[in-house]
Amino acid sequence: MGEVTSSARLNGSEIIGVMPEKLYNLGIHPGECTKFILTKGMRERKEKMDNLSQAVIALPGGFGTLEELSEMIVQKQLGYSNKPIVILNLNGYYDCLIDFFNNIIRQNFAPAETSEIYFETQSEKTAIEYINNYVFEKKEYLSKKIPLKE
């Protein structure tokens, strides 16, 4: 995230950092933020980021990134969010995750339309174009019935 904030700062963008107290107290400090918000924990952090954001871009990251991406997909699936969600699959980083998402659909744990909740690309430019051109279309992403295999 340091490279992202540095580039954004050089281009005059506002950078809002949101961090839980525990990480801050461990000595992990935000870089070049124009505004910094300290939260009690991760749940409050995610809620604050959700309220501040107009779109979601998942960059390659660890378990926290996976958890946050999954939550945003579920929020959109349940109709609590209408934001564009982009998985920036740099160097194929998310190939296995996309395969796993497709397996969820193949195994009938989610309808095929669920794959429309997010947009996957390997190009930063295409990710930004997708967000800039995004128009929310209300759709039903929940299965009415999930068949059990015998």
Condensed to tens digits (0 to 9), the pLDDT of residues 10-45 reads 888 888 989 999 999 998 877 778 899 999 999 999
pLDDT of residue 51: 94
pLDDT at residue 150 tops 80 = no
Clarify whether residues 38 and 69 are in a common domain: no
Range of the domain at 1: 1-52
From 110, 35, 30, 108, select the one nearest 70 (Cα to Cα): 110
Mean pLDDT of the chain, nearest integer: 89
pLDDT digit string (tens) for 90-117?
999 999 999 999 999 999 999 999 999 9
Clarify whether residues 58 and 38 are in a common domain: no
Position 2 confidence tier, pLDDT thresholds 50, 70, 90: low
Residue 148 is classified by DSSP as P
Q: Cα 128 vs. chain centroid, distance in angstroms?
A: 14
Number of structural domains in the chain: 2
Q: How many whole angstroms separate alpha carbon 26 and alpha carbon 46? A: 19
Q: Find the mean pLDDT for residues 57-85.
A: 94
DSSP-derived 3-state class of residue 61: coil
Q: Cα 89 vs. chain centroid, distance in angstroms?
A: 12
Clarify whether residues 40 and 77 are in a common domain: no
From 82, 125, 124, 120, select the one nearest 101 (Cα to Cα): 120
Query: Which pTM was predicted?
Result: 0.86
Clarify whether residues 86 and 127 are in a common domain: yes
